[in-house]
Amino acid sequence: MEELTSQDITSLARSVNMHIPNTDLDQVAMSLNAILQLMSEIDVTDVNLIEPLPIRHIKEDAVYD
């Protein structure tokens, strides 16, 4: 995955109404690029078909006594 540039970060920040000073752009870019690159490298079969986590534990998984 191609790294986001400082210019990309500025544009993204504008889309969420956030200002990032020039002095912080490189740092934010490194931090965000690390997450996005690692997430994009996770290639797990059928991940798109999964329904996200139910918040409560399913009854049969739990130990009750």
Interatomic CA distance for residues 14 and 20, integer angstroms: 9
| Site membership for other proteins, residue 22 (CB under 8 A) | no
Contact 50, 42 (CB under 8 A): no
Binding mask 23-52 for other proteins (x = CB under 8 A): -x--xx-xxxxxxxxxx--x-x--xx-xxx
Is residue 29 exposed (0-12), middle (13-18) or buried (19+ Cβ within 10 Å)?
buried
| Site membership for other proteins, residue 2 (CB under 8 A) | no
Interacting residues with other proteins (CB under 8 A): 3, 9, 12-13, 16-20, 24, 27-28, 30-39, 42, 44, 47-48, 50-53, 55-57, 61-65
